[in-house]
Amino acid sequence: MNRNELTRRLLEDAAQRSIRYRETCDDRSVAPDREAVAALGRLQQPLPDAGMPDEEVIALLDDVGSPATMAMAGSRFFGFVIGGSLPVTVASNWLSTAWDQNVVMHEVTPATATMEQVAIEWMVELLGLPHGTGAGFVTGATVANFSALAAARHRVFENVGWNVEANGLIGAPPVTIIVSDEAHPTLFKSLGMLGLGRDRVIRVPTDGQGRMIAAKLPELHGPAIVCTQAGNINSGAFDPIGDICDAVKPGGAWVHVDGAFGLWAAASTSKRALTDGMEAADSWATDAHKWLNVPYDGGIAFVRNPADLAAAMAITADYLITETEHRNPSDYTPELSRRGRGIDVYAALLSLGRKGVEELVDRCCRHARRFAEGLGGAGYDVLNDVVLNQVVVSFGDDATTRRVIDMIQADGTCWCGATVWQGVTAMRISVSSWATTDEDVDKSLDAMIAVAAAVLDG
């Protein structure tokens, strides 16, 4: 067999296996069973001297790996804020993997660079961000927060005459960093990585839903970065971003929005009000692998003035083609070399259209309300106002709730994780997948209620 024939056979086999995986994903326990996890021991073999034939490699990955996966691509995974992957994005991901483009420079990867640029323009429009906002495609909201805050760091220091990219932070003028008590841990991590300090922040208190209380913002003097949140990881609540902008923008502060999943509320007519005023901010971080349902991994760092992001990220070298009339993708990301993550975003947006994104967001929110009504109706405590796709529920005291969560996970009909919300142990339901239907919600509710009743009956 020649090389092309071997390649064709291998890829067709992998495609068949992938299709089978997706077709059977909802027929099995959402969490992998014990035997499947134990069988992972088969992967722990010594590095072979002579390689294994390719088709045997893929067979091993599938036979041992597939059963031991968590069915995140299925329709009843409600843990964390994960999202599934739209079929068109799995297909675009395969195709772009076959292209194997390194999206550094427009001149050498014009197809992918163009798709990414268009995807950015579409998202800016869809999410109601200011015209001209620029962006970089990164691995997720963590690096999107990092990148956007790197742009913020550039701007606030430049405003006081300090070139932070050249001179670093040693000897730099002080900067005030504001976060809320409910900021996501990745925000603190990003601040730490930027040398701004995880703990050198002023924390603003939050209300019972986890929203920053704008009236408690301190008076700001000098350079400042104010970090807000669109979508609390537990409750789904939004900081009053408009009020925060009104309070701090006149003094020249940079406002950042961590909207890992919540930013997509702006694509829905019925949910958009949650994001009111966020267009006055300077930067926004979001994920595509959450609510847009593209395969892992994909996040986006949006910055109102793209030059601020480029000032933090762009480099030149004699061997790179940096002099171009086009947008060079690597000018806007921490990475130089990377895959074309924006291709799947382009494919998702083209396939869904404006209406499809809105329907996806609305559907997930409707499912979340159905969960809240079902569990509340069964006598369990829904702890949050269900304003988006997140439901936080308690089944009794902390130990009982933990036990119920463990048993729901073991039951396998669906999967939800544990959290602590406002001091109370709770189960967190996040509905983020395009694939979840009303029937999935009902089936999951039945399982949750039956498991909880069994645990409570002793």
Ligand X SMILES: Cc1ncc(COP(=O)(O)O)c(C=O)c1O
Nearer to ligand X, 74 or 140 (CB): 140
Nearer to ligand X, 239 or 279 (CB): 239
Terminal-residue alpha carbon distance, the chain: 63
Contact 399, 49 (CB under 8 A): no
Nearer to ligand X, 86 or 105 (CB): 86
- What does DSSP say about strands 254-258 and 224-229: parallel, antiparallel, or unpaired? parallel
Q: Which two tokens stand for residue 425?
A: 């142990």
Q: Which two tokens stand for residue 301?
A: 């760092």
Nearer to ligand X, 301 or 445 (CB): 301
Q: Round to whole Å and give the CA distance between 292 and 269.
A: 16
Q: How far is the CB of 335 from ligand X (least distance, A)?
A: 15
Q: How far is the CB of 341 from ligand X (least distance, A)?
A: 12
Q: Round to whole Å and give the CA distance between 404 and 412.
A: 13
List residues near ligand X by CB under 6 A. 81, 140-142, 184, 186, 229, 231, 233, 258, 260-261, 287, 299
Nearer to ligand X, 142 or 425 (CB): 142
Q: How far is the CB of 16 from ligand X (least distance, A)?
A: 30
Q: How far is the CB of 258 from ligand X (least distance, A)?
A: 5
Contact 408, 448 (CB under 8 A): yes
Q: How far is the CB of 183 from ligand X (least distance, A)?
A: 8
Q: How far is the CB of 138 from ligand X (least distance, A)?
A: 9
Nearer to ligand X, 147 or 176 (CB): 147
Residue 225, CA distances (Å) to 79, 301, 351 in order: 31, 16, 37
Nearer to ligand X, 299 or 374 (CB): 299
Helix axes 438-456, 398-411, angle to 10 degrees: 130
Nearer to ligand X, 106 or 271 (CB): 271
Nearer to ligand X, 85 or 413 (CB): 85
Q: How far is the CB of 299 from ligand X (least distance, A)?
A: 6
Nearer to ligand X, 244 or 311 (CB): 244
Amino acid (one-letter) located at 331: D
Quick one: which of 75, 87, 100, 58 has its CA closest to 24?
A: 75
Nearer to ligand X, 228 or 413 (CB): 228
Q: Round to whole Å and give the CA distance between 100 and 94.
A: 10
